[in-house]
Structures are given as C-alpha cells and as structure tokens.
C-alpha cells in the first residue's frame, strides 16, 4: 500500500494506493487542492477509483464532486450523509476495495451524524472523530458529544494498540499517533467518564469555522453555484421537527399538513421512495417556486429529505419567507423507512 498525506497542512487528505493494481482512493479531498491531487495521481501513474468523505465537512468545500467529474471515480459517504448523488453509501462493517486493498468502515458519529472511520492494514483514518491528543468538536449541526464518546470507545479503542491513527485534522504539527497512545494520554478521553466528556465538550465554547456558511451548506446540498441563498447556520437550530411516526399519524387525521419533499427528482422516485401525497420541490428550486405555496402560508407544512438535513434548510428558508407553521421531519426518509412506514415510488 502506498499511503501519503497530500495537503501538508492542518487539514488532511490521504491517498491510499494499491501498488500492484495501480488503483487509488482519496480520503477527504479539498476542492481548492484538486489540481494537486490530479498531478500526484498522474505522476504516480494511479487510476482514482474512490473518493471518500469521512463526514460532511463544515470548514472546507469537498473536492469529491470535482474529482468524480474529472476522473470518473465513485464518491463514498455514510448512508446518513445529506448530500444527493453519492455513488456508494456505506454503514458499519462494510468493506471498500481498491485494487487489493480492503478498507473496513467503522461508524463513528459525534462530530457529525454521518461520520465514519476507515481501518486498513494496521492504520485507521479517523476523520474528525479522534484527533491526536484531542477529539472532533461536537457543537456543529448534527454533533453529539455522547455519541462521539461512545463511538471512540466502542469502535476505535478496541483496535490493536499499535494501530496507527491518521486524523482528518491536526493543528500542532503532529502527523501520527497510535490507538494505545490515545487511550493512555489523550487529555479529553483518558480517565474521563461519559458524562465528564460530554460536560467538557459542551463547555469548549469554540468559535465557528470561518467558512462554515459557504462550506457546510454546499457540502450538504451539492449546490455550489450561488443560485440559492441559504439561511444562516445558527437559524437552523430553531427549526421545529416532527418524528416520522408522528407525521404518519397526522397525515391520517382530518387536517393533515402539506408535505414538501426537497430532494432531487431522481431521489423522489428512487430507492427510498417518498411519502404518499408529498409534493416534490427540490431544494435548489424552492426559492423561485415558493409562490406556488402561497395558499399555505398560514397552514402546516412539513419538509422532508433523505436524512433530515436539507429539509431543515428548506424549512428555515420557508420560515424566512413568511410561512408561519413549517416543520422538518427528523431523520428524513431513512428514519421513515426505518420505522416501517409505507412509501410510494
């Protein structure tokens, strides 16, 4: 295996190459470094097979879509990733193959709901879950300190102590650690209980990333051309939500809400199907088509998407346009199907 970190900066992108098959994967590429990655692939004479994002990034635009367009590589993210058009969705225990390399997927949510780590040949790429001497922040949308603690202890710390830890970020010039070292010396984890860790993470008071508005919304929606004015990230926390079971019961009542599905058209009729009677208005089209919903400004509306992220954005948009009773369906169609509720295709 040829393993290289390509950015030489605090934000890490990893190249994993099968030297025999000359096939490669890139993990967590930055959009502004795509030219560098393509040059490295050409110089080393590797074909790019997979582009893997370990989570939905909040501090930089992903290079996954550009690399797919330029090379034909398949994009890979966790099943709960909100972005449309991901080629391969993965879950705990899935295996990805790059030539003769086998990457095992570990679900490690907490920094985000869709966070994964990748275990390959004595190394684990931990994204923003476990850092060297630290852990990923958990105060951004979808973050959960308790889930991060549980994932690190249940998925990462059981790996052999000599396993090399390759994080998605490092701000102190450190390149590598091991699982054993992190268990013994990581100041956020060593000797701390679940509740102590949660209290610590909830009290960090970190400033928001400089590019969070630009990066997070584009990475969640794949809308990168400026055609949609997204609501401020802070406003998304104020969007009320409803569970799939509650929405199902409400739809059977005498006064059901209007359900707006904001996924792309191919998703609406795709493998997950859609809620019966829902109306398809893709997120990209919502601002210009909001006038179609004028008669519902004072009525109940529930927005739906794949995982509940794009629909939160849609609900905030509609609220900003004067719609008074807008909610988000928590967990999206993934949780609707997980609750064994009926779908149409």
Domain ranges of the chain: 2-202, 225-338
What does the pLDDT read at residue 14? 98
Instruction: State which residues of the chain have pLDDT below 70.
Output: 175
Q: Rounded distance, CA 320 to CA 315, Å?
A: 9
Whose tokens are 């209980």? That residue is 193
| Other Cβ atoms closer than 10 A to 2 | 13
> Is this model's pTM higher than 0.85 or not?
yes
In this structure, what are the phi and psi dihedrals at residue 324, rounded to the nearest 5 degrees? Answer: -90, -25
Q: Check if the beta carbon of residue 224 is closer than 8 Å to that of residue 63.
A: no
CA angle 154, 25, 130 (to 5 degrees): 30
Distance of CA 276 to the CA centre of its chain: 27
What does the pLDDT read at residue 107? 98
Question: Which residues lie below 8 Å from residue 139, measured CB to CB, with a gap of 6+?
Answer: 201, 202, 204, 206
**What CATH superfamily is the domain 225-338?**
Rhodanese-like domain (3.40.250.10)
CA angle 130, 133, 137 (to 5 degrees): 50
Q: Rounded distance, CA 131 to CA 172, Å?
A: 11
142 three-state secondary structure: coil
What does the pLDDT read at residue 343? 97
In this structure, what are the phi and psi dihedrals at residue 107, rounded to the nearest 5 degrees? Answer: -80, 120
Q: Check if the beta carbon of residue 313 is closer than 8 Å to that of residue 231.
A: yes
Pairing of strands 23-27, 14-18: antiparallel
Straight-line distance from the first to the last Cα atom of the chain, in angstroms, rounded to the nearest whole number = 43
Q: Class assignment of domain 2-202? A: alpha beta
Segment holding 18, helix H or strand E: strand 14-18
**Listed residue (243, 228, 246, 333) closest to 283, CA to CA:** 228
Q: Rounded distance, CA 144 to CA 183, Å?
A: 20
Alpha helices, DSSP H, located in the chain: 34-44, 64-71, 145-151, 179-185, 194-202, 212-221, 233-236, 244-251, 265-268, 286-289, 310-320, 332-338
């Amino acid at each position: 295996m040829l393993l290289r970190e390509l950015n030489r900066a605090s934000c890490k992108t990893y190249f994993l190459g099968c030297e025999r098959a000359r096939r490669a994967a890139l993990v967590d590429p930055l959009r502004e470094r795509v030219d560098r990655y393509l040059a490295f692939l050409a110089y080393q004479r590797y074909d790019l097979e997979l582009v893997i994002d370990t989570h939905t990034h909040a501090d930089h635009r992903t290079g996954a879509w550009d690399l797919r367009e330029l090379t034909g590589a398949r994009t890979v993210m966790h099943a709960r990733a909100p972005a449309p058009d991901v080629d391969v969705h993965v879950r705990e225990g899935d295996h990805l193959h790059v030539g003769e390399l086998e990457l095992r997927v570990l679900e490690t949510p907490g920094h985000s709901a869709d966070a994964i780590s990748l275990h390959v040949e004595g190394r684990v790429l931990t994204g923003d879950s476990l850092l060297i001497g630290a852990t990923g922040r958990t105060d951004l949308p979808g973050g959960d300190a308790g889930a991060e603690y549980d994932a690190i202890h249940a998925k990462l710390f059981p790996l052999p102590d000599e396993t090399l830890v390759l994080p998605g970020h490092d701000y102190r010039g450190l390149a590598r650690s091991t699982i054993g070292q992190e268990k013994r010396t990581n100041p956020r984890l060593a000797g701390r209980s679940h509740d102590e860790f949660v209290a610590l993470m909830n009290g960090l008071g970190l400033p928001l990333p400089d590019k969070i508005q630009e990066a997070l919304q584009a990475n969640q929606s794949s809308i990168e051309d400026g055609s949609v004015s997204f609501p401020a990230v802070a406003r998304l926390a104020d969007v009320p939500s409803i569970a799939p079971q509650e929405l199902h019961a409400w739809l059977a009542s005498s006064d059901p809400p209007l359900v707006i599905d904001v996924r792309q058209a191919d998703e609406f009729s795709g493998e997950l199907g859609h809620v019966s009677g829902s109306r398809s208005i893709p997120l990209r089209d919502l601002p210009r088509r909001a006038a179609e919903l004028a008669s519902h400004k004072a009525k109940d509306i529930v927005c739906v998407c794949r995982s509940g992220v794009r629909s939160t954005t849609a609900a905030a948009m509609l609220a900003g346009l004067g719609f008074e009773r807008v909610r988000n369906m928590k967990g999206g169609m993934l949780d609707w199907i997980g609750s064994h509720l009926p779908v149409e295709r």
